[in-house]
């Protein structure tokens, strides 16, 4: 259920206050009243309002003076100035001081409601843009590490070449390869970097709401549309719109995306006039779009319109030389976020990470490092601290010489990891560990010797 707007009416004329109160009540809004600028400011100290209807001419503190104080103390609250006369000079001064609108008191009830709803919509859009800027600042504050392998250097070179050019970009790659990270990298180096970056995960939106989320809707456009809403295209105006998993978009919406890209304009659901936009669109997909074009599930004209600059992100298993830098980066970031002391990865742990296939790509690596920060108390993360998957998964070794060798290596790695964890639990007491594992002490010593597992404090 949407929040009902609360309006403060500040006017020295009690008849006008009551008339406006009844109009707002019939329009589904709540209101409170004040008879002077001083009383209005006092009400705003104790009550949160969305909007103020402020009279220009009042005894004592005038409307313009009250407006200046309101903008200083309550910058999030919108103000509409009201006056008996249409004084252009006063209207201009009010707008420069921070008023969002200026109306004369000969308004009709429908006109007043329409002006208020328009102003409330502007306020909501402004708050959403501030939220998007806050999200973007957090991303900028977290350095982006794309990798220094030969393939990723090529990706970065292309990204930097086209960043300042307003061309559409199509990023392809498996899930978790960092497509949104690359899109943010391009945005941060473009001439639109001060504008919003709006990311949309298309599969995460219910099918019947995708059009409204992208293009917005007018009040009453469909059941439940009780107020006007700006879509992601409008919110991204002046910045960058990132459409993730564009390959999953329904055919009927693909034509509207195509029109938006070609004409640089959209129409809200239920709208009657086009809205001109100035934004850059970056799309991403883990689908084989050429194949979907052949199957008839993706428009060919849209595919070619998106593929102005195609960039393919390789999966992590095809660039293992990046794993060390990425793992160290994610580990340091996770430690800072969780308030933990810095940790490092032992050489054996790094080798296991490099041999793993990473079906979840960079996202999986980031999650594993976050897990290590939370579950591992030691400053150095050993191979035995990693999940067993890294030692026993049949597909974890890259290019095994034979299935037998791959299985044998996985079994040995698992046994070594298992023994090391058991020893650490018992503070490297070998006799106690042998008893708990149900094996002979001499057998354990022989295994530890073969694996090179020694500790300066272990018992003899």
Stretch(es) of the chain classified as CATH 3.40.50.2300: 6-122
Find tokens 């999200």 and name the residue: 135
Are 128 and 230 in contact by the 8 Å Cβ rule? The answer is yes
Residue 410's pLDDT is: 62
Mean pLDDT of 356-365: 92
Mean pLDDT of 299-313: 95
Structural tokens at position 54: 């402020």
C-alpha–C-alpha distance, residues 290 and 296, integer Å: 10
Nearest to 146 by CA among 350, 326, 355, 398: 326
Our measurement of the distance from residue 419's CA atom to the centroid of its chain's CA atoms, rounded to an integer in Å, reads 42
* Range 318-425: architecture per CATH: Orthogonal Bundle (1.10)
Residue 457's pLDDT is: 56
DSSP string, 170-219: EEE--TTS-HHHHHHHHHHTSTTTTS-EEEEEGGGS-GGGHHHHHH-B-T
pLDDT at residue 357 tops 50: yes
* Alpha-carbon distances of 140 from 18, 269, 375, 427, rounded to whole Å: 50, 34, 28, 43
C-alpha–C-alpha distance, residues 366 and 360, integer Å: 10
pLDDT at residue 100 tops 50: yes
Max CA distance (Å), the chain? 101
Task: Look over the chain and give the mean of its residue pLDDT values, rounded to a whole number.
Answer: 86
C-alpha–C-alpha distance, residues 386 and 368, integer Å: 8
* Strand arrangement of the beta sheet that strand 197-201 belongs to: 197-201, 240-244, 280-285, 169-172, 309-312
C-alpha–C-alpha distance, residues 344 and 144, integer Å: 20
Structural tokens at position 248: 């999953």
pLDDT at residue 455 tops 80: no
pLDDT at residue 72 tops 60: yes
Residue 133's pLDDT is: 57
Q: What is the CATH number of domain 142-314?
A: 3.40.50.300
Q: Which residues contact 355 (CB under 8 A, 6 or more apart)?
A: 320, 390, 396, 397, 398
The CATH superfamily of 6-122 is Response regulator (3.40.50.2300)
pLDDT, tens digit, for every residue of 200-243?
Answer: 999 999 988 999 999 999 888 888 777 778 899 998 998 999 99
338: helix, strand or coil:
helix
Q: Per mean pLDDT, which range of 100-109, 295-304, 384-393 is the poorest?
A: 384-393
Mean pLDDT of 433-459: 77
Find tokens 């960079």 and name the residue: 362
Are 242 and 285 in contact by the 8 Å Cβ rule? The answer is no
C-alpha–C-alpha distance, residues 72 and 386, integer Å: 54
Mean pLDDT of 378-400: 67
Q: Quick one: pLDDT band at residue 394, thresholds 50, 70, 90?
A: very low
6 versus 129: which is more confidently predicted?
6
Q: Per mean pLDDT, which range of 171-180, 219-228, 281-290, 371-380 is the poorest?
A: 219-228
Structural tokens at position 436: 């708990």
Mean pLDDT of 332-352: 88
C-alpha–C-alpha distance, residues 39 and 233, integer Å: 41
Q: Quick one: pLDDT band at residue 422, thresholds 50, 70, 90?
A: confident
Q: Quick one: pLDDT band at residue 401, thresholds 50, 70, 90?
A: very low
Q: Which residues contact 390 (CB under 8 A, 6 or more apart)?
A: 352, 353, 355, 356, 383, 396, 413
Are 346 and 384 in contact by the 8 Å Cβ rule? The answer is no
Backbone angles phi, psi at 299, to 5 degrees: -65, 130
Backbone angles phi, psi at 229, to 5 degrees: -135, 135
Residue 98's pLDDT is: 87
pLDDT at residue 395 tops 50: no
pLDDT at residue 405 tops 50: no
pLDDT at residue 96 tops 70: yes
Q: What percent of the chain has pLDDT over 70?
A: 89
C-alpha–C-alpha distance, residues 277 and 364, integer Å: 37
Q: Quick one: pLDDT band at residue 396, thresholds 50, 70, 90?
A: very low
Stretch(es) of the chain classified as CATH 3.40.50.300: 142-314
Structural tokens at position 21: 């109160």
Residue 122's pLDDT is: 81
Stretch(es) of the chain classified as CATH 1.10.8.60: 318-425
Residue 407's pLDDT is: 60
The whole-model pTM stands at 0.64
Structural tokens at position 90: 């006063």
Q: Which residues contact 455 (CB under 8 A, 6 or more apart)?
A: 423, 428
* Alpha-carbon distances of 5 from 51, 52, 115, 236, 346, rounded to whole Å: 8, 11, 14, 25, 57
pLDDT, tens digit, for every residue of 10-67?
Answer: 999 999 999 999 999 988 899 999 999 999 999 998 898 999 999 999 988 889 999 9
Mean pLDDT of 334-358: 89
CA-only gyration radius of the chain, Å: 31
Q: Per mean pLDDT, which range of 85-94, 101-110, 402-411 is the poorest?
A: 402-411
Residue 392's pLDDT is: 56
Residue 32's pLDDT is: 94
- Residue 62 class from Cβ within 10 Å (0-12 exposed, 13-18 middle, 19+ buried)? middle
């Amino acid at each position: 259920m949407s929040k009902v707007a609360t309006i403060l009416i500040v006017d020295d004329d009690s008849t006008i206050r009551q008339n406006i109160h009844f109009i707002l009540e019939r329009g589904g809004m709540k209101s409170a009243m004040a008879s002077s600028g001083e009383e209005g400011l006092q009400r705003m100290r104790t009550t949160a309002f969305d909007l103020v209807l402020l009279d220009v001419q009042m005894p004592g503190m005038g409307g313009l003076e009250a407006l200046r104080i309101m903008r200083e103390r309550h910058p999030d609250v919108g103000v509409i100035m009201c006056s008996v006369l249409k004084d252009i000079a006063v209207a201009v001064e009010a707008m420069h001081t921070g008023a969002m609108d200026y109306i004369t008191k000969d308004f009709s009830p429908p006109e007043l409601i329409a002006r208020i709803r328009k102003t409330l919509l502007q306020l909501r859009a402004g708050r959403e843009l501030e939220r998007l800027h806050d999200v973007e600042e957090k991303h900028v504050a977290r350095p982006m590490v794309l990798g220094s392998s030969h393939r990723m250097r090529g990706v970065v070179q292309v990204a930097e070449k086209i960043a300042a050019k307003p061309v559409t970009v199509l990023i392809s790659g498996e899930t978790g390869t960092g497509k949104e990270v690359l899109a943010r990298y391009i945005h941060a180096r473009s001439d639109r970097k001060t504008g919003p970056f709006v990311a949309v995960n298309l599969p995460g939106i219910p099918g019947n709401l995708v059009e409204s989320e992208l293009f917005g809707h007018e009040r009453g456009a469909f059941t439940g549309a009780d107020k006007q809403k700006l879509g992601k295209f409008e919110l991204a105006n002046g910045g960058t719109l990132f459409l993730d998993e564009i390959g999953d978009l329904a055919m009927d919406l693909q034509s509207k995306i195509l029109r938006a890209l070609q004409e640089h304009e959209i129409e809200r659901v239920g709208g009657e006039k086009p809205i001109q936009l100035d934004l850059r669109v970056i799309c991403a997909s883990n689908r084989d779009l050429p194949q979907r074009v052949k199957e008839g599930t993706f428009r060919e004209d849209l595919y070619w319109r998106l593929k102005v600059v195609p960039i393919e992100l390789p999966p992590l298993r095809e660039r293992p030389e990046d794993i060390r830098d990425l793992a160290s980066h994610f580990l340091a970031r996770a430690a800072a976020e969780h308030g933990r002391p810095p940790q490092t990865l032992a050489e054996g742990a790094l080798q296991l990470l490099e041999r793993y296939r990473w079906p979840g790509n960079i996202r999986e690596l980031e999650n594993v490092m976050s897990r290590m920060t939370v579950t591992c108390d030691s400053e150095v993360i050993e191979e035995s601290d990693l999940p067993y998957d890294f030692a026993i998964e049949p597909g974890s070794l890259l290019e095994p010489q034979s299935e037998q060798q791959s299985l044998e290596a996985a079994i040995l790695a698992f046994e070594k990891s298992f023994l090391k964890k058991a020893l650490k639990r018992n503070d490297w007491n070998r006799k106690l560990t042998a008893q708990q594992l149900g094996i002979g002490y001499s057998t354990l010593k022989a295994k530890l010797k073969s694996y090179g597992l020694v500790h300066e404090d272990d018992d003899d």
